[in-house]
């Protein structure tokens, strides 16, 4: 095949490609406008989707979480900032901020394969960090994740074991 032949084929391909792209775009927009289940062309909201996905993450009660802790079947994940973690956290917990989940994903997957359940927590009933960390964990293929609402305050007030410092 000569260079010239290939150039002609590529030129034809580009020209035809643009025609197909245009026709497909028109068909897509028209069909979407006409169908009852059509969606807004620019109306996607990742914030709404994350909220919806996070609402599906199961929660766990304090007593159930403590029970698992006693049986050594749970790994607590403290989603608060490192300073709060150092001041005090659930004994044995790991400090993972939502954005840092990818750094721990491999080691956590190994623990998940060993049968551990992960419970994320932060502080305050409205605190979003525990859900965000739980969501990131699920996204990275760790299935057994629950979150403990207002976890730190509940655990502390119940007098359950805590630790201080970086570990």
Partner 1 sequence: MKLKNFPRPFIPLIALICRLTLATIFFYAGIEKIVNPVDFTVAIYNYQLLPDLAINLSAIFLPWLEVFIALSLVSGIYTRGAALLSAMLFLTFATALTINLVRGLDISCGCFGASSGTISWFYFARDLSLFCMSVFVLIYDRGWQYFFS
Under rule CB under 8 A, residue 4 binds partner 1: no
With residue 32 as reference, give the H or E element that holds it: helix 3-34
Give min distance, CB of 7 to partner 1, in A. Answer: 12
Residue from 15, 56, 71, 166 touching partner 1 (CB under 8 A): that is 15
State the DSSP code for 58. P
- In the complex with partner 1, the residue whose CB is nearer, 8 or 158, is 8
What would the two tokens of residue 32 be? 């979407």
If one counts every other C-beta atom within 10 angstroms of the C-beta of residue 25, the result is 10
Which range touches partner 1 (CB under 8 A), out of 13-21, 82-90, 121-129, 151-159? 13-21
Question: What is d(CA 22, CA 115) in angstroms, rounded to the nearest whole number?
Answer: 52
Under rule CB under 8 A, residue 141 binds partner 1: yes
Which residue is it, tokens 């394969």?
113
Q: Which residues within the stretch 39-98 sit at the binding site for partner 1 (CB under 8 A)?
A: 39-46, 49
Q: What is the largest CA-CA distance in the chain?
A: 82
Which range touches partner 1 (CB under 8 A), out of 31-39, 70-78, 121-129, 145-153? 31-39
Give min distance, CB of 109 to partner 1, in A. Answer: 9
Spell out the residues 6+ positions from residue 145 whose beta carbon is closer than 8 angstroms to its own. Answer: 57, 117, 118, 119, 120, 134, 137, 138
What residues make contact with partner 1 under the rule CB under 8 A?
Answer: 1, 6, 9-10, 12-21, 23-25, 27-29, 31-32, 37-46, 49, 102, 105-106, 139-141
């Amino acid at each position: 095949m000569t260079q010239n032949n290939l150039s002609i084929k590529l030129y034809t391909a580009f020209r035809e490609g643009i025609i197909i792209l245009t026709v497909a775009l028109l068909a897509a927009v028209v069909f979407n406008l006409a169908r009852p289940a059509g969606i807004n062309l620019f109306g996607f909201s990742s914030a709404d989707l994350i909220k919806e996905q996070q609402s599906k993450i199961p929660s766990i009660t304090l007593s159930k979480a403590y029970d698992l802790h006693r049986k050594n079947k749970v790994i607590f994940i403290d989603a608060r900032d490192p300073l709060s973690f150092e001041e005090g956290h659930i004994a044995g917990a790991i400090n993972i901020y939502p954005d840092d989940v990818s750094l721990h994903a491999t080691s956590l997957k190994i623990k998940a394969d060993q049968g551990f359940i992960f419970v994320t927590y932060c502080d305050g009933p409205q605190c979003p960090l525990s859900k965000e960390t739980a969501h990131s964990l699920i996204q990275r293929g760790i299935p057994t994740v629950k979150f403990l609402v207002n976890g730190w305050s509940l655990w502390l007030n119940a007098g359950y074991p805590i630790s201080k410092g970086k570990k």
